[in-house]
Structures are given as structure tokens and as C-alpha cells.
Amino acid sequence: MDESIRWTVKVSKDTDVSLRTFLAQRGGKKGDLSKFIEDAVRWRVLEQTVAETKARNANVSLRELESAVEEAVAAVRAERFASRS
């Protein structure tokens, strides 16, 4: 973490005990609780972003999706390889 921000969060006692027990069983040390929460938040954000993207594209044909992906990949490759020369 480059720059840390302090959060104040509230969880149930059961959740606190479960998580601290989980971390302790794996040899948890100082900072592991914060790392676990940050990782969990990143996964949840990714999970929801993927679900929203799937829902938004539910009515898009496979051909259109493949075309959009190919176009995006080509643009990134062109940009990446242009910066190498």
C-alpha cells in the first residue's frame, strides 16, 4: 500500500471472531486484517463490476462482443508496440 487511509467499520462480533480466528490459524501477523479486508473489497468490486457488465451486455450478440474485444485488443497492442519503437 502506497498511501493508507484509516477506515472505521462496524461488523458483527461473530464476523470479527471468525475472521480473527481464520487469520490466527494461518499464522496471521500485524497488518493481516487490513490486507484481508482490502483484498476482499477488491474482489467484491470486481465481482459486482463483472455482474453489471454481463447484465448490460446480455442482449448483445456474441459476434458483436467478439468484435468489440478484438478491436480493444488491437488498439492496446498498437499503442503498446508503438511505444517500444
Q: Does the residue 31 lie in any domain?
A: yes
Name the percent of the chain lying above pLDDT 90. 84
Q: Does the residue 4 lie in any domain?
A: no
Angle at 30 between CA 46 and CA 43, to 5 degrees: 5
Determine the pLDDT at residue 67.
96
pLDDT by residue for the chain (85 residues), tens digit each? 578 899 999 999 999 999 999 999 999 898 899 999 999 999 999 999 999 999 999 999 999 999 999 999 999 999 988 877 6
- The total of structural domains in the chain comes to 1
Q: Does the residue 30 lie in any domain?
A: yes
The residues, any chain, with a CB within 8 Å of residue 19's CB and separated by 6 or more, are: 11, 33, 36
